[in-house]
Structure formats: structure tokens, C-alpha cells
Chains A and B, each alone.
Chain A
Amino acid sequence: MEKLLDLLSENARMTTEELAVMLNKTEEEVANQISEYEKKGVIRGYHALIDWDKVDENQATALIELKVIPKRDKGFDEIAERIMEFKEVESVYLMSGGYDLAVTVKGKSMQEIALFVARRLSPLESVQSTATHFVLTRYKDRGIVLNPEDEKNDERRSVFCD
């Protein structure tokens, strides 16, 4: 039933009926499977993918690399959990490689994000250093191409002509 997840991740608004037809299942089977996924936490929600640039000019996003000192027994969990409490923070990942936590932050301006990093993140006890990278253009997000000029039109052409 991973196909069901593929279909939903592409378009969560498809009806159970449509999904059932495509997957050759009954509507009941599909509905049960979906609620099982929800219960197990496989499906974490159904959100619109919004291109905020279109809604509000005053938007900025940054990817912040954090080096942190892990706590004995708790490792990185404690600091990660602290950081994810900030409403400005969109995502928090523990990374392999040259730094520890990757944090994406959204704000009204680069200025606002810079202040957030300086006043909220940097002072946290276990944070050693930060590096802030601002997003300039978002081409593709969660598998969806955002720039309409890049969006694929049907470029297939008529084959038959005299």
C-alpha cells in the first residue's frame, strides 16, 4: 500500500473513491488503511504546500547550521527539543558531517531572522557556533516545482502533419 502514500503525498485531496479505483481496492480497504497510517503516525497531517512568496513579499527563510555540545545521557535531544519550541523554527534535523543541527527558520525579513539567531539561538547554553544561510530562490519544495516558469508544460507535439 505504499502506492497509497505516494498518491497522498502528491495530492492529499483525492477522494477515497478515486484512490480505491486507482489502487484496485475497495473504498473501505483504503479508508481503513488511511486511518491505520494516521494512528501509527505514518501520516502526520494533510497540509497545503503554500508558496508564501506569492502571498507576502516580506518573507525570508534561512537554513542555520548549529554546532552544539551534546549533553551527557541526553545527547542532542535536549537542545533539539528546546530549539523546536520557537515558533519561528520550521524544522530541526540532526545531521552527519561538519555540523550538528540544521534548523530552518522563517521570518518577515532577513533582519528579523538575524535578530532571532543573535538573541535566541546563539545564547543557548550548549550552542557553540552558528552559520546562517538565507534562501534566495525556492525552485522546488517537498517534491513540487514552485517556479511556474520551470513547471512542465505538455511539450509533446503533433506527429502527423502533411
Chain B
Amino acid sequence: MIDYESRMNDEIVRLKPSGIRRFFDIAAEMDNVISLSIGEPDFSTPWHVRQTGIQSLEKGRTWYSPNRGFMELREEISKWFARRYHVEYDPKSEVLVTVGGSEALDLCIRSLVNPGDEVLIPEPSFVCYVPLTEMARGVPVIIETKAEDQFRLTAEALEEKITPKTKLLILPFPNNPTGAVMRREHLEAVARVVEKHDLLVLSDEIYSVLTYGETGHVSFAEIDGMRERTIVVNGFSKAFAMTGWRLGYALGPKELIRQMTKLHQYAIMSAPTTAQYAAVEAMKNGEEDIEYMRGQYDMRRRLIVDGLNSMGLDCFEPEGAFYVFPSIKKTGLTSEDFCERLIYAKQVAVVPGVAFGNCGEGFVRVAYSNSIKNISEALKRIKDFLQEI
């Protein structure tokens, strides 16, 4: 018998699997489950976008694309981003098309981090930043965000964690799992600290089109002096309900993009061709789809926030993404116990907050990327559950 683990890369063996998973597995084995645990749109990709992908297949366009992505797509991304967020990127040298936003995050962290560099990661946040940092032999430094700050990153909390070894700040807003957004004034406060300590920033803006406040999303790159210090990661998955197409992109100064492109070239070659044809259509003619889906999410968001608050599960008003993050502290249960008991008793799946960092304990993530019918039914079941425990 070969002891495989002893022969493998130690860092890989030590990586923990994501905590989101367990509840999916339980849910998969039950009938009549309403899953509010899935972090992706319930919409299918808009038909005209799918059709463009189909047409490219019909025409037999099944070859590789250039490493950086088709020029036409890079141009559309550049225009789209400038139109919405007022920052210009040169499609030739400052746009890199990747396999989902996830790949772009990995490329960025691996390209910037030297062994021992400290990477600042606000939590609760998506599960990949810590493992990616560890794989790059960087040192993850967690910054806990708090419900009383609407889960925003404050300049004070940031400043506190900075050391001479700090290299990179990750800025995951609009935030998964809390739904928090950073408004312009909050970004400006963070930018002053970034400038003072000469940091670089990875701004994960994958949920950028899904904000519900009066002011829309502000890209960190738009803040004075930040474009030259920031890699923006975005993609098609959330904005256009294209998760399965696996397409994202990174925008940034050409010197950084060039290094990231080398890694991308050797590990991935290029992003999926069919998806890129479809994505061009999404960028050109997808505004209505975005607005439609955003409007639908917004109605569901109001329904679920109101429902949870009125049954005593306090949640702050989430202004972005498609998640609410209610506190379950009143129940006296841990977030894992809460989720496990809820799914067994009422067949409603939500994700324990602790899966998104230790400071997520006492909260659960509820995704409202589901139909109004299912959300109403789930709210009823959660209410019953609370009365029974």
C-alpha cells in the first residue's frame, strides 16, 4: 500500500474542504427540500445569450481562443466596465478573460504573494481566499467585520491589522455571505489607509450589478489613486446567470495583468470559447436582463428580510448580492446545529455562518436566489421550526 498522503504536497493535504458542502449532501438525500443554500442564480442564462452560444457551435467555432480571451470580448468588457463604473482599461493589455472569477482570484493572489507576505482577508467572506493565500505560501490575516458596522470593512479595523509584512488587501464586496456593500465613503476611508501603507488590493466585485440601495455599486478602482493599486475581479456568473459557462475576468495595471497572464497561459491556456461568444452578446445586449433579474431579487430580498425579522431572526438590511445573514444567537444554537436541525425538521437548507469564517458563528446564510413561492414556503417552515425548538 502506498501512503499517498505522505507523498503529496503538504499544503494540499492540509487544506480543509469547504463547510458549505455538508448541508448540500444532506439536502440531496431528502424529498421536498427547499434549498436556500445555493449560491447561484435560479434563473437560466437569458435566451438570446444562450442562442449566441448555440450559433457559435453550429458554425463549428470550437477552437481555442487567444490566451487573454477574444479581442472582441475584451473590448466589450472594457466598454461595459467604463460605462457602468467609470474606469477605463485597455482591452489589449489590461483585461484578462478567465475561467470564472475564481481563476482570476487565484491568478492574482499567486502572482502577487511571496512566501511570508501577509494578505488581509475580511470575514465573513467567500471560502476561497484563505486556502488560495496558503497555497501561495502567504499568511492570511483575518479582519472580522461586524453586524453593527453592517459587515463593512472599516478603516480602523484595517489599520489595526497592518504590519510591515502586509502585501495585499482583499475586498470582497458586495459580500457573500452577508450581503454587505461598501458605499463610496466607506471605500474612500479604506483607500486612505491603502495609500498610507502602500498596499495592493484585490477587489472581488463579482456581485457588482446586484446592489439594491439608492446608489449603485462603486468599483474600488474608481476611488482616487486606487486604479494603479487594484486588480478588479468580475465575471458573468452572477450578472447574467451564467455560472455554468465558467467565465470571468480580471482588470488591472498592465504590469500585473501580464504576470497573471503567464500563469493563466500555462495552467489554463484560455477560457472556454463558446462561453466567450455568448458573453459578447451578454455585454452588448444584456442590460435589460440585468435589470429584470435585479428587480426580481430585490422583491425577494424585501420579502425574506421582512419575514426573518418578524419571526425574531434579526438581520441587517443586506444591500447587495442575493444573501441575507440573519443572527440566530437568540436560539442558543450554534450555526451548524441550527442548520442541521432545520433541515431534518423542516427540509429547509441554509448554510452555517461559520463556514465563512469564525466570526460568522451565530449567523446563517440564506440565499434568496429562489422563487417567491419557495421563499414564502421556506419562511413558514422556519417560523414553525423556531416555535418548536
**Interface: B287 (CB within 8 A):** no
Q: Tell me the residues in window 362-389 of chain B with beta carbons closer than 8 Å to chain A beta carbons.
A: 370, 372-373, 376
Task: List chain A residues, Cβ under 8 A from B306.
Answer: 21
Task: List chain B residues, Cβ under 8 A from A23.
Answer: 299, 302
Q: Tell me the residues in window 111-162 of chain A with beta carbons closer than 8 Å to chain B beta carbons.
A: 154, 156, 158-162
Measured CB to CB, the closest approach of chain A to B23, in angstroms, equals 9
CB pair A158 B24 closer than 8 Å:
yes
Name B21's contact: one of A11, A154, A158 (CB within 8 Å).
Answer: A158
Measured CB to CB, the closest approach of chain A to B345, in angstroms, equals 20
**Contact flags B345-371 to A (C-beta < 8 A → 1, else 0):** 000000000000000000000000010
Interface of A is mostly: loop
Measured CB to CB, the closest approach of chain A to B14, in angstroms, equals 14
CB pair A154 B372 closer than 8 Å:
no
With A154-B35, A161-B21, A162-B17 already in contact, the answer to whether A18 and B28 are too (CB < 8 A) is: no
Q: Tell me the residues in window 5-40 of chain B with beta carbons closer than 8 Å to chain A beta carbons.
A: 17-18, 20-21, 24-25, 28, 35, 38-40
Task: List chain A residues, Cβ under 8 A from B372.
Answer: 7, 10-11, 14, 22
How far, in angstroms, from A3 to B299 measured CA to CA in the complex?
10
**Interface: B225 (CB within 8 A):** no
CB pair B42 A154 closer than 8 Å:
yes
CB pair B299 A160 closer than 8 Å:
no
How far, in angstroms, from A160 to B35 measured CA to CA in the complex?
15
CB pair B28 A158 closer than 8 Å:
yes
**Interface: B115 (CB within 8 A):** no
Task: List chain A residues, Cβ under 8 A from B302.
Answer: 21-24
**Interface: B142 (CB within 8 A):** no
**Interface: B87 (CB within 8 A):** no
Measured CB to CB, the closest approach of chain B to A16, in angstroms, equals 13
**Interface: B147 (CB within 8 A):** no
Closest to B27 in A: A158
Task: List chain A residues, Cβ under 8 A from B303.
Answer: 18, 21-22
Task: List chain A residues, Cβ under 8 A from B42.
Answer: 154, 156
CB pair B20 A160 closer than 8 Å:
yes
Measured CB to CB, the closest approach of chain B to A139, in angstroms, equals 17
How far, in angstroms, from A156 to B28 measured CA to CA in the complex?
11
Closest to B25 in A: A158
Name B295's contact: one of A3, A14, A18, A154 (CB within 8 Å).
Answer: A3
With A11-B372, A154-B35, A154-B42 already in contact, the answer to whether A22 and B21 are too (CB < 8 A) is: no
CB pair A160 B376 closer than 8 Å:
no
Q: Tell me the residues in window 10-53 of chain A with beta carbons closer than 8 Å to chain B beta carbons.
A: 10-11, 14, 18, 21-24
Query: Would you list the 10 A-B pairs with minimal beta carbon distance, nearest first?
Result: A158-B24, A160-B21, A22-B299, A160-B18, A21-B306, A162-B17, A156-B38, A21-B302, A22-B303, A22-B302
